[in-house]
Amino acid sequence: MTTTAPARSRATRAPSPRRARGIRGNETRAGWLFTLPAILIIGAFLVIPILLALWVSVSNWNGLGSPLSNTDFVGAENYANIAADDGLAARDFGVAIRNNLYYVLLVVPLQTALSLFLAVQVNRRVLRGRGFFRTAFYFPSVTSSIAITVVFLFLFSASGAINQILGVLSVDGPNWFNDPRGVIHLILGAFGVGDPGSSALAGPLAITWWQWIAGPSVAMCALITLAIFTTSGTFMLLFLAGLQNIGAEIDEAALMDGAGAFRKFFSITLPMLRPTLFTVLTLGLIGSWQVFDQIYLTGAGAPGKTLLTPAFLAYQTSFEGLNWGEGAAIAFILFAIIVVLTLLQRVLLRERTPRSDRRRRAGVPPVNPNDGGTASGVARLNAGPRGGAL
């Protein structure tokens, strides 16, 4: 018995720290080995091109040869030409930002609201043929954007189906994709407010305030309709997945508490969809700021540059104007705009911690309602977690 006790103690002894580190070290090396192909691919096709584009944006590369040779560093000159100058490049950039801003302000809320409405409808248990409706609503999202754009060009032409329907209602429809008039300008013109001309106040990005308040053009309104039609189906599926993750017991509890349909949706369903809502808004924001193919197919920014967007302007400046530095600068400014708006959206949609929870985490005792307004209650509130002053 005495001879086997040391052996038993050695057998039950925990492994040494050096041996444990060796096991973890092997796991780390294996992990790096498995992820190395993905890291090399991302580095070769994503990180390196981004760094080269950043260098092009601060250089005078002419597009010939390698951007690492025969180029000079010009600093922020390309950024200043499009954001702080009064030339044509700055005016085009200002017009593109204005157009895309109205596009975002209309597309993102409308497509989010429509996709949520569709998701709620196809999630109803009483709806027959739910699979058919889900497929039908999602079908435009998987169809080629080029094909849908061409179809919309026919629908919104001067003699297209949209104007034919408006003609039945005794309304003369415009030549949609060839009408550069701003919607807000049309509304102001109905009240006798006309273009101030040269007396218009100068605004940011080398365009006047009268141009800033033009609103989306008639052509842009047709493009906004196209974007909402093609993207709502994708976001409907995201909302549908979020709705199906809400347990049936939550709906039953709300019904037992006497909550109606609207009360249950706005007080229970919508707050529980906050992560999905953030995802949908973020994807919609990024996609609407990067719109390109529809612009290319509808006339390269025509009519009157009212369909010009920063993404298309970057392509046009680089590949058609051969001004690669300014084109890359436009792309990075657009990237900065998307990042800032995404972070702002994250702050606005974050879940607020109730004040009582914040006090509990800080160690502050809850306030007794019976002590409200009394000296003792105020003294206990100001005492802090350990009797010290807050």
Instruction: Give the domain ranges of the chain.
Output: 81-349
Question: Closest by alpha carbon to 141, among 289, 284, 345?
Answer: 284
Average pLDDT over residues 367-388: 44
The upper half-sphere exposure of residue 1, i.e. CA atoms within 13 Å in the direction of its Cβ, equals 0
Residue 372 has pLDDT above 60, yes or no: no
Average pLDDT over residues 208-232: 93
Q: Among the residues of 160-217, which ranges form H helices?
A: 161-168, 183-190, 209-212
Distance CA 210, CA 187 (A): 13
Residue 254 has pLDDT above 90, yes or no: no
pLDDT class for 377, splitting at 50, 70, 90?
A: very low
Q: Which pTM does this prediction carry?
A: 0.81
Average pLDDT over residues 240-250: 86
Distance CA 317, CA 138 (A): 35
Output Rg (C-alpha) for the chain, integer angstroms: 30
Q: Which CATH architecture has domain 81-349?
A: Orthogonal Bundle (1.10)
- In this structure, what token pair is assigned to residue 280? 């949908």
Which pLDDT belongs to residue 361?
61
Instruction: Give per-residue burial for 94-110: e unless 16+ CB within 10 Å, then b.
Output: bbbbbbbebbbebbbeb
Average pLDDT over residues 185-212: 87
Distance CA 336, CA 328 (A): 12
Which pLDDT belongs to residue 128?
82
Distance CA 141, CA 160 (A): 23
Element (H, E) at 39: helix 17-42
Average pLDDT over residues 94-114: 95
CB 155 within 8 A of CB 162: yes
Instruction: Give per-residue burial for 286-297: e unless 16+ CB within 10 Å, then b.
Output: ebbbebeebbbe
pLDDT of 11-52, one tens digit each?
Answer: 555 555 555 555 566 788 888 899 999 999 998 999 999 999
Residue 55 has pLDDT above 90, yes or no: yes
Tell me the pLDDT of the chain averaged across its residues: 83
Residue 214 has pLDDT above 50, yes or no: yes
**What one-character DSSP code corresponds to residue 316?**
I
Instruction: Tell me the sheet residues that pair with 217.
Output: 182
Average pLDDT over residues 322-340: 93
- Highest mean pLDDT out of 198-212, 224-238, 289-303, 361-375: 224-238
pLDDT class for 376, splitting at 50, 70, 90?
A: very low
